[in-house]
Amino acid sequence: MLTAETIAEARRAVRTARGQGRRVGLVPTMGALHEGHLSLMAAARAECEFVVVSIFVNPIQFGPNEDYQRYPRPIEQDLAACREAGVDLVFAPSAGEMYRQERLTSVVVRGMTEGLCGRQRPGHFEGVTTVVAKLFNILDPDAAYFGEKDAQQALVLRKMVVDLDFPIAMRFCPTVREADGLALSSRNAYLSADERERALCLSRGLEAGRRMIAEGRTEAAAIAAAMRRIIEAAEPEKIDYIEIVDPHTLGPVARVAGPVLMATAVRIGSTRLIDNILVDSQGNKIRMNDLFL
Ligand code: AMP
């Protein structure tokens, strides 16, 4: 496995692989790798002869009062996990390498970034789209792999790729969960035992919403209210949002008449957790890739 800390080294490694006719697959991550990340690597491995994982805790996507400083950075463990997963190149730059000068340029996707997580995290998606555009330019992948777990991020990045004509196939992989339903997240490491138990309210609330749709309920407000009751029963510190939106626009829907994204962000202790499920009008879970067939 190759590792690169500089942009020049990473470009060289990718150029060599391309010269050998290998298809390049990129899995962008912030490290603290878990089974969710490994599932993206496996998807990349299945389609590409050269798998690149980037590990970069991107400072410009964190707000001033967020967890940039305390975000876990177990780099040795992460490198071992990548080696085990058959990754070909890990690109792990410093913040100084990625942002060598004062940055005057941003990539902004309007319209899809003001709601949901964008409301409580102003500037977050601008940081995400800007760093992913940089990673795409540095690593020149044929395909890039993202998790449905961060649904808004995935849909916003897909819009960026369409609007700016990045020649990259976007692949979205299903959310990997613990046996009891909790979506895997690097931030789960912050949870105490009691908080870990209470964190189940996200997946339980979403599943209750899904069941209501499967039973034929269509009024989004009533479904969201039922989800809220379940989530509130776990006494979260704060509910940032519980929303039922159109997955193409991320705008709210009044009635469930087509595919909907049910999404929630909740603070448990000092940890902000997000989760979502994507369902059709019958309440069947569907894959994000299927939205764009
Ligand atoms: P992160 O390191 O949290 O920035 O995540 C890197 C990538 O892994 C993103 O595309 C995430 O959506 C994806 N990811 C994170 N958690 C999961 C999960 N539980 N299942 C599937 N993908 C995930």
Give the tens place of pLDDT for each residue, 247-275.
Answer: 999 999 999 999 999 999 999 999 999 99
Residue 147 β-bridge partners: 173
pLDDT score for 158? 98
Residue 101: what pLDDT?
97
Q: Which segments of the chain have a pLDDT < 50?
A: none
Q: Reduce the DSSP state of residue 60 to 3 states and report it.
A: helix
Contact in structure between 151 and 278 (CB atoms under 8 Å): yes
In this structure, what are the phi and psi dihedrals at residue 86, rounded to the nearest 5 degrees? 75, 25
**Ligand 1 pocket, 146 CB below 6 A?**
yes
What is the pLDDT of the chain when averaged over all its residues? Answer: 98
pLDDT on residue 293: 86
CB of residue 170 inside a 6 A radius of ligand 1: no
How many C-beta atoms lie closer than 10 Å to residue 62's C-beta? 18
Ligand 1 mean position, distance from CA 217 (Å): 31
For the Cβ of 58 lying below 6 angstroms from any atom of ligand 1, the answer is: no
Ligand 1 atom at minimal distance to the Cα of residue 30: 2
Q: Residues 6 or more apart from 262 whose CB is under 8 A from it?
A: 206, 209, 210, 223, 227, 243, 244, 276, 277, 278, 279
For the Cβ of 150 lying below 6 angstroms from any atom of ligand 1, the answer is: yes
Helical axes 35-47 vs 75-84, angle rounded to 10°: 40
Cα of 127 vs centre of ligand 1, distance in Å, is 16
